[in-house]
Amino acid sequence: MQSGISQKAVALFEKGFNCAESVSMAMSDFLGIKTDMIPKIATPFGGGIGRRGSVCGAVSGAIMAIGLNYGRMEPDEDREKAYGLALKFYERFEKEFGSVFCYDLIECDLRTPEGKKKAKDLRVHEEKCSKFVARAVDILAGLMRE
């Protein structure tokens, strides 16, 4: 069963925002952070950074949300809270899904017409990616509540 925050993230994803945009938008709302930079800053992270299949956009969106809440503005400010939370999030997501890399998770190369067709035919967006989006926000919200 999805939480309210994950339902919001999935609704944004189904509306047409990419994975990174959806997670960062839902988490910024959860955190009460308003900025014109979200979802713009998250856009190129979709599909594992420009469809490269690298770090999953849902993971990137969650890490951006950690930065929004715990990031620093000056070099002498502490960064350990952000680093620690990012590492915990990364490890939990990886443990649950076996990888944090988009290609490993969806097994499609989104840079090619064949890979895009395969993803569409397999309903990767609906069947897999929406789960990654939902779990990313649930894992992160849970960690922030701890």
Distance CA 7, CA 126 (A): 14
How many residues are given for the chain? 146
Q: Are 19 and 46 in contact (CB under 8 A)?
A: yes
pLDDT tens digits, one per residue of 40-56: 999 999 999 999 999 99
Q: Any idea where the domains of the chain sit in the sequence?
A: 4-145
Q: Are 61 and 22 in contact (CB under 8 A)?
A: yes
φ/ψ (deg, to 5) at 76: -90, 0
> What is the pTM for the complete model shown?
0.95
Distance CA 132, CA 44 (A): 17
pLDDT tens digits, one per residue of 99-139: 999 999 999 999 999 999 999 999 999 999 999 999 999 99
- Which residue matches tokens 């950074």? 49
